[in-house]
Every structure is written in structure tokens, then in C-alpha cells.
A and B are shown apart, each in its own frame.
Chain A
Amino acid sequence: MDPVRASARDIARAVNAREISAVEIAETMIPHVASVDEHLGAYLTLTPDLMREHARRVDARIAAGESLPLAGVPAAIKDNMCLLGTRTTCASKILEHWIAPYTGTAVARLLDAGALPIGKTNMDEFAMGSSGENSALGKTKNPYDLDRVPGGSSAGSASAVGGFAATISTGSDTGGSIREPAAFCNVVGFKPTYGRVSRYGLIAFASSLDQIGPFARSVEDVAMTYDAMGGHDPMDATSVDMPFETTAGHLREDLRGVRVGIVKEFATSDLAPDVAAAYEKAYADLAALGAELVEVELPTAKYGLSTYYLIAPAECSSNLARFDGVRYGLRVDGADVGEMYEKTRAAGFGPEVKRRILIGTYALSSGYYDAYYVKAQKARTRIADDFRRAFAKCDVIASPAASSPAFAFNAKSDPYSMYLMDYYTIPVSLAGLPSLSIPCGSALPEGGSRPMPLGLQLASPLFSERALLGYAHAYERATQHAAKLAPVQVVTS
């Protein structure tokens, strides 16, 4: 077994069966990742010592008779998740040297399930961005074309898995930050229902939208990772206290009897011709698996972007206030405490973060609150209602995960064109629904020489993770799109 290319399922099976040790896997992965990452830039911090320590612990537990669902599976962790003793930066200068003094719940559960931490992955600063380019600490590249972006904000987590520099990884998704980079990097990325995975230890961007989810190269690996991380956590008051349905053992092979909603307002004519053709083919493949395609309407989905860009900045303007130079992180001295705040935050935050803090502060200000924040909350409710109505007619909604395949670095210079990348994912986030992106073919991007991966977004009703991953598995098994593309040579060699 090649630990670099093997699935999480196969690694865990082999380690539990003691055919290979977790330490052997770690010793293979550590030099491999170090070398590949010179090209990818997926990681901000590599944690080889910690990986070895966990590998030894996993081997000892297995020797003691335990069976671990993710035994020896190499995992990358997005750098907005706290891991005790490890630098946790949010790819921001303000936290560049901050060492987390505790481990967040989702990461702790992943490691307890036997996963081995390879390192912390690059991202758009504070998870704000759709290309990875907003990182203040590094440039992550797309493993399928190093001149193109990996997507964002979970840039490094998608790039590492797509580029075989991790078997699984964690991402966080606020408006599409798992699904869009998954689509760009030819991997499966899954955002569970809001409240399914604890946010304790996830550095907040927009609290009412942030949700942790996994990346992997197969639906089954995604399901295993989600099963390990999910479930109620008393440390997160928004984590739902209801029975947790595992998913990995409930994947299905066909789509007979499943009604797939195709959204009237998301016409493929809005897309580039070969991108549109790929999605038309994907919908036809779903039907070929036995699904009934039905047209559904989401008339308010077009207000998703403007709604999101009021609610998310409003919450972030408050969430990011704590980075003030008083207790931790960057401090730039000033004549008094007010000047210290100003200088610290001016030096510590990048332009996109500042833009959103300003938008959010404005939206919450006295005199504007009702016109902006309250109205956006009402729109959010209407969008969620639209989905509820649509799900009366269908079991799952299929759409593009992103508006285009991965674009070149510096191609989206104005913020609004970048925001448009998340046109299809944001309404789903506002409704809190579980959704994922799964490879569904490829298209030659504008100015590109290599076909780049595309992702199909599937979204289903609240708390229907088991059904959703089942549909995705049936589609993956029938189409095998991920295997049709290979990363660039320097990554695979």
C-alpha cells in the first residue's frame, strides 16, 4: 500500500489490521509532504514531531486492542483551528506567532479517532476570500495548474488533498469556503448542517454561518472523517443536541427513487459553454442512475450575495474585535491604548479583512441597523423558506459549486467579481443546509492549457447528511471523475 495515494479507508483498515504501522505511514508522509509542499505551498506550518508522536500513540492503542476509525490517516488542519502547542495563524499577521494553548473539539475528535496531524494549512486571512490569495503568510497553488488559484478560503486544505500532500483535511465553510476550493482542486468537500460539527476552537469569521467540514479524495473518506468530527459538543451552545447519524456505513449505489432538483434560476446558460456542457452532462448522469430530475424555484437566491455580505461582515466586525494587542498576537505600541489598538489592527489585518470589518461596523451602526442588518436577516429567512418549499418537491438540489473552474492568480482584482464565485454556495450557507462539492468533470479555463476540474454541488434538507453523502457516493461510483485528472508532474513525481 502506498500511503501517499491510498484512501483513508484503506489506510485505517491496514493500520488496524497491523499490516502497516502508523509510524511507517508518518515516516513516508513527512518527507513526501515537505518536498511536494515546496511547489504547492499548501501548509503554513508542518508538524512532523507531533505527527510522529500521534503515530506512536495510535500504534500503542492498536497494540492494546483498540480499533480506530481513522487509524494512521494523514490529516491536514486548516490554520483557523486551534491545536495545542501549534502555531495557529488564520493566515494573518495579527496571529502570525500565536501558539494555541488548547485544541478545538473537531480537531481533538479527529486525532482521537487516530488521524495523524501533518500540519496547518494556508487559507484566506480569517477565512475571507475565494481564492486563497488573501493569505498574509503564503501563496498556495492549485495542484492541477500551479499558475492557478486553489480556491478559498480553505485553500491549503483543498490543495493538499488534491495534490496528495494529505489524505484528508479539515476546512471551514462560511459561504462556500469548503465547496469552492474542493471544486477547484478535484476533491470532495463537505459542509455539514450548521450545528453538526462543534465550532469550539474554530477561530470565528461569521458565527452564524461558520461550519467545519472535511475534504478527501472520495465520498467514503469524507464520510469517515465527518463521522469522527461530528456530534453534539457541550462547549458549543450552537451545536445541536440531537442523535448523531453516522454516514460512512450508509452509502448507496444508485439514485432510484431520488428526486433531484435543478434550480430554474441557476441556468447553465450563465456559464461558459464547455462548463455548461459539463454540468448538463452531470445532471444527465444523475438521471441515468435512476434519479428523477425536477425543476425547482429559488426566487430569492439572487439576494444571497447581498444578504451574506451584510450578515457575515456584521458578525466578523464583532468577532475580530478581540484582536486588539492587549492579550495575545501582534501589538504595535502607541502613545495610549487607543493608538495602540489602531496601530495594531492597521498593521495586523489585510485589506479584505479591513474591508469587511468596515462594512460590518457600518451595517450595525445606529441608524443603519434596521435598514441593513435586520433586513438582511429577513432576507435570510426568505431564502431558507425558498429551500424548504423546494425540498417539498425534491430530495436534493444539484447545481454548480462555483461559477467557473480555477482562475489564474491576480485574475479577480475587484472584490465583487471574487464574491461572485460563491453565487451558488452562499444561499445554501444562509439556509444552514448540508451540502458538498464532488468532482463532475473538467473544462478548459479561460487562458488555460490544461483542463481544470469542476465541482457539482449537492444540497439537501437540514440534518440529512446520511442521505446526501449516499447520493454523492452513488454519483461518484458511477462517474469516477476525480481519477480522470492528474495533478501536475512536480506534485506526482
Chain B
Amino acid sequence: MDRSETASAALAGLRGAAGVPMLLTAGGMAGFGALAHDTGFSGWQAVLATVAVWALPAQVVAAEMYAAGADLLAIAIAAALTSMRFFPMAVALLPGFGRPPGGMAGRLLQAHLMSATSWAFMMRPAVPTAPRPRLAYHSGFTLGCISVAAAATLAGYHGAAGLPGPLALGLLFLNAAFFMVLLADSRSRQALLAVALGAVLCVPIHAVLPEASLVLSGVAGGSIAFALGDRWRRRQ
């Protein structure tokens, strides 16, 4: 494995990200930037959130709950519940890189750069399968996306501040639109049940306990769907 081969795999990763993955990332992160402005973050705090959290749901949950006046523990629990998906994703993705340079630090870096978009992309057959080129491809892909995301966050932040009112409201709508489509795309009946329960339970719970409504609706909806789904599964 020579250096030019690694470089060309990294470039291929960057080219793979250019297009739909970067557009989706930019749209979502511009929406987050607008929300961050609306809720009182500073511009650099919004960009820090994008680069260091690098998980749109956790970022939006944190900004939304901050605006609602929730305390740090509630925000931590809600963010952790939305980010749990990275655990099975990392378990499935990282072995393909073999032993990355830098040992555990290198492995943690790749786990941080990974996103739902990059993860799905890495499962495609066009991506190299040998460990070193695969690692280089993933690095090129994700570093490209995270750079675009940082710029889009700042653009959304300043867009919300400076654009005419209607356009700023359009930016604010982006997050919810992306999440709706993501949720509608869940293929299993059990996941759709969890989605429906979470949405329906949120309204009454919010009326009583506004600060905890995200976590409570999530845990209640998820647990009911889990219990019912396992019963379905057993009957089949």
C-alpha cells in the first residue's frame, strides 16, 4: 500500500461526498445554524456544536431544550438517547479499517467523523474494501462533509439573523422537515409505531412537564413499541 494509493482513495471519498451527501448535510446544518441563532447561541458556539457533536438530532435537541429552559441533566439524557445509534454503527464500521494508524486515538477519530450519511455510504459496493484505502476513503468523505457542515452552520446562523423574515422562517423549518422524512423512511412497522407514539404522547406530556417531554415521550413511545413488537415477533 503506497502513499499515492491512499491519497487517491481519500480523493475518491471526497468525490463520493460531493453531491447529494454534502447537499443533505449542508441543508440540515444550515437549519441548525438558524435554530441556534433563534435560541440565543453565539455563531462560534453553533459551529463548535456542528464540528464537535457532529450529530444533527443531538444538536437540535440541545438547542431546542436550551430555548425551553431545560436543565443540563435533562439535555444530556435527551441528547444521549438520540445519539445511541452511533454505538452499533461504530461496532459495525470500525473493523473494516483494520488497525488504524494512531491506535485507539485513530479509531476514536474515525468514530467521531462517522455520520449516519457516511455510514450508509460506506456500505455501498463501490467503496474500497481493503483496510487502508477504506480508511482513507472514509476520512476523505467525512472530512469533506464536516467542512461543508461547518460553513453551512455559519451561513444558516447569519441567514437567520440577516435574511428577510420569510426566508429565515424557511431555514428554521429545515430541521423538522429533514427529521420527518427520515422518520417516514423507517421500514419496520415497529419503528413506525414508535414514531407515532412519540408524536402523540408528546402533546399531553408537554402540557404537564414541558422540560421533560422529549425524554419522557421518547422512552414511553420506544418502550411500548419495543414491548408490542417483541410480542408480534414471537407470534410470527
Q: Do A and B bind each other?
A: no
Give A residues with C-beta under 8 Å from B: none
